[in-house]
Amino acid sequence: MQSQNQVKRKKRIKPSTILNTILAITLTILVLNMLTTKSDKIFKIIGYRTYTVLSGSMEPEVYPGDTVVIKHTNKTDIQVNDVVTYTDDEGVVITHRIIEQTDEGYITKGDNNNVQDSDIITSKDIIGKVVFSIPKAGFVIQFLSQKWVITVEMILLGIFIIIYSKNE
């Protein structure tokens, strides 16, 4: 049987501690995502950036609404069969697989497309190599990045700070 001292030493985790931890992690992820998405310098320092997939051209590997995490890579590390995110001639960001390397550059194709992409991309067009994807996270990130949602998040953060300071 446990003594009273042993029972007293067991601490219960407060709901506010759990809530604060979840809030801190969420805010950290949102801030890092915002910084790496908006700043090429920070992207190069951190080395990772996220994009939300909008089309089904890479199914079944990546679906619309998935978030792809790309790694800033040395362009010479890119190889055939790598899935890369790049910008086309019009500045549109695309995530497709490299199917061939030529003297002019790389030929890409979406896994779910019947034909290869018409443009040949060069190493300067490549933003990075896809490391992994997070299913449907793009929908959540897009929702949480809306101005009105950020406003609500900041108000809730203020309320949590007030409640937390009163409990201490």
In this structure, the answer to whether residues 129 and 151 fall within a common structural domain is no
**CA–CA separation, 10 vs 154, rounded Å?**
34
- Domain limits at 108? 48-134
Whether 124 is in a domain gets the answer: yes
In this structure, the answer to whether residues 76 and 148 fall within a common structural domain is no
In this structure, the answer to whether residues 88 and 142 fall within a common structural domain is no
CB contact at 8 A, 64 and 53: yes
Work out the average pLDDT over 26-44: 68
In this structure, the answer to whether residues 85 and 125 fall within a common structural domain is yes
Q: How many domains does the chain have?
A: 2
Whether 3 is in a domain gets the answer: no
pLDDT in tens, 48-67: 888 889 999 999 999 999 98
The residue with greater pLDDT, 10 or 119, is: 119
In this structure, the answer to whether residues 126 and 52 fall within a common structural domain is yes
Whether 8 is in a domain gets the answer: no
**CA–CA separation, 137 vs 29, rounded Å?**
12
pTM of this structure: 0.68
**Which residue in the block uniquely carries the two structure tokens 């910008």?**
87
